[in-house]
Structures are given as C-alpha cells and as structure tokens.
Amino acid sequence: MSPATPAADPNTGGGEFGLIRRHFQRPATTQPTAVALGIGDDCALLRPAPGYQLAVSSDMLVAGRHFFADVAPQTLGHKALAVNLSDLAAMGARPLGFTLALALPELDDPWLAAFAQGLFALADAHACPLVGGDTTRGPLNICITVLGEVLPGQALRRDAAQAGDDLYLSGQVGEARLALECLRGTPWATEHCGPEALARLRERLERPTPRLALGQALAGVARAAIDVSDGLASDLGHILQASRLGAELAPDEWALAPELRALPEPQRLECLLNGGDDYELLFTAPMAARSAVAGAAAASGTPVQRIGRLTPEPGLRLREPSGRLRPWTASGWDHFA
C-alpha cells in the first residue's frame, strides 16, 4: 500500500527498499525449494508438490503484549518464526516458505541485522525460505505467515480425536511460564530458581523449538494435534471441543523440570496446565498406534510422553495418585478475556 508520507529515496541505500535489500533479500540458494519466484515482485510464486494441500497460518507478535520491547532482537527473530512453524508442525505439514510483515518504529540497522540473523538461522535449519512481506513504519509489530504442504487426509486436525485415544505431549510443559514468573519477580517462582536454572528456563521461553520433524512423522499416525501456545488445558480444550470429547490427565506422573517438581502443587499445576509459550505438540492417537507413535518419536529424535487419555464424557479431569478424579477448568491466555 502507498504510504501517507513519501517513502525515502531507495537509491540512497536507506528507506524501505534499501532495508529489505540489506536485511531480507538473500542470494538464491542452490538447494531445491518450492520457490519459483521469491522477494522482489508483486507476489511470490510457490510450487507445492503435486497432489499436496497447502497449509497456511499467521501469527502476529506485538511489542509489550507478546514480548518485552527490549528483548534481544536475535531472540525475537527466532521466536517470531518459531511460533509460526509450530503451527505447521501441529498440522503435520512440511514448511515451504514464509512471508514477513514488519512495522518498525525506526530504521535501526544493527537491530535489524540481529533480528534477521535469529530469523534466518531457524529458517535455514528447516529449509523454509522468506519469500516476501511488507515493511512499514509503526509501533514494533511482527506478523509472519507460513506456508506448508501436507497430503490430503493426513493433516492433524483438532476435530479428529476419538474417545479412548491416548493423549501425548512432546518434551515437557511449564518451563516457559516459570521463566516468565521469574522475570516478573514473582516470589514463588524466584524462590525455586537460581541463576543457572533461570538461564535454562529462559531459553525455553525465548527460543522455543518448533517440533516440525515430529509433526511430519505423526502425519498419518496420530489423529488430532495442537501446539501448546496458550496453556495445555486451554489448548487441549480446543481439541476436546472440536472432537466433542473429554479427557483425563495424571500430571503427577508427567516428566517435568526439577524446578517445577519443587513447586507447591497449586503453582506447579498452574505452570503445567495454564502456562503458555511452550510450543510443544499435544496429540492423540489410538492405543493400537502406540508403537507407531514411539517410532515417530524415535525417527524425529523428539521425546514424547503419554499424559492421559480421551473420554466420551466431556470436561477435563485430573487423576490424583489416590485414583480420585478432580475436575479442572482451563484458564489459559485469551487476549480479550
């Protein structure tokens, strides 16, 4: 779109076009990709493999809401793409490319260089090229759209779970939330985390790992999946609602970080069930698929734990060590709640 004020002269090396050229336009790679035409024209042209469906998802990160405005730009570049790739992973899709819409308060070359470094390190690790975008002046805001491909019938949809399915989780949850509480100075969190623990937990908050290899290995194996961005209980709630089911979880049996294990139960459950920003995959599969799930975990080098099962009765219940079932109401992130 044409700006309200004239753009700076692109030939000076400054301005919008110089910025794109310096930081986001890269030499064509020799690796085969799905990109027929990349940055520089009115549209990019992509070529999904014949017979595949296109998977598309956007995530916007707003300063002050999704991240601290003074966060290291390299970290922000990583996270902005990671949260989007996580959505492709949760669909079982393979990434083809992404676009980047950026609002920047000012042209800050060192900031942009570091942002681009974090962004491209992750993009290159997953062979997911930047194919276009938009750049404007405004309060810091980053919107990425990822494009991927998946075979028809193999996408891991939220409405595909069935009663009796096992419920699985990649990695562990709760660490990102504990890190956030430590950074906010919440006493129950800081009491349980020394500087070394915080450094490790903070990595989990700021540099999440999108579980792409696992997601693709689960396509055609698992039934339903979602990535844990807003909190396990509320994200699981989306599967339960779409599939019209309930679930039983036994959090006392889950693998979890020692700092979480040490918390009093209410805070531990708060981190495990309501904490967001984990970007782990939560998925269901029939009991008959247990060895296939283990195979997908091994093939993708991703730890996976079984954390519960789906029930025909609606609602979410926690199974206590005594066997007693306790109802649980989710209260994850909702920007308009």
Chain contacts with ligand ADP (rule: CB under 6 A): 20, 24, 39-42, 100, 102, 130, 132-135
**Among residues 42 and 265, whose Cβ is nearest to Mg ion?**
42
Q: Which is nearer to ligand ADP, 8 or 213 (CB)?
A: 8
Asked if 136 interacts with Mg ion (CB under 5 A), we say: no
- DSSP strand pairing (45-46 vs 35-37): antiparallel
- Rounded to whole angstroms, the Cα distance separating 119 from 291 reads 35
* In the complex, minimum distance from the CB of residue 99 to Mg ion, in angstroms, rounded to a whole number: 11
Q: How far is the CB of 24 from ligand ADP (least distance, A)?
A: 4
Q: Smallest distance, Å, CB 15 to ligand ADP?
A: 11
Residue nearest to Mg ion (CB): 134
Nearer to ligand ADP, 1 or 288 (CB): 1
CB of residue 36 to Mg ion, shortest distance in Å:
20
Q: Distance between CA atoms of 143 and 296, rounded to whole angstroms?
A: 31
If the CB atoms of residues 47 and 261 are measured against ligand ADP, the closer one turns out to be 47
Nearer to ligand ADP, 42 or 265 (CB): 42
Residue 320 in the binding site for Mg ion (CB under 5 A): no
- Partner from Mg ion, ligand ADP, none binding residue 156, C-beta < 5-8 Å depending on class: none
Q: Which is nearer to Mg ion, 134 or 320 (CB)?
A: 134
DSSP string, 109-157: HHHHHHHHHHHHHHHHHTT--EEEEEEEESS-EEEEEEEEEE-TTTS--
Binding of Mg ion by 134 (CB under 5 A): yes
CA distance 304 to 294: 8
Q: Which does 95 bind (CB under 5 to 8 A by kind): Mg ion, ligand ADP, none?
A: none
* 73 token code pair: 């730009």
When asked if residue 40 is in the footprint of Mg ion (CB under 5 A), the reply is no
Q: Which is nearer to ligand ADP, 26 or 238 (CB)?
A: 26
8 A C-beta contact, residue 279 and residue 229: yes
Closest CB 6 distance from ligand ADP, rounded Å: 14
DSSP-derived secondary structure letter, 44: -
Q: How far is CA 189 from CA 26, 126, 255, in A?
A: 43, 34, 19
Are 279 and 209 spatial neighbours (Cβ–Cβ below 8 Å)?
yes
Q: How far is the C-alpha of 159 from the C-alpha of 243, rounded, in Å? A: 4
Give the shortest CB-17-to-ligand ADP separation in angstroms: 7
325: β partners:
319
- Please tell me what DSSP assigns to residue 270: I
With contact defined as beta carbons under 8 Å apart, do 61 and 79 qualify?
yes
Q: Smallest distance, Å, CB 134 to Mg ion?
A: 4
Which residues lie near Mg ion (CB under 5 A)? Answer: 134
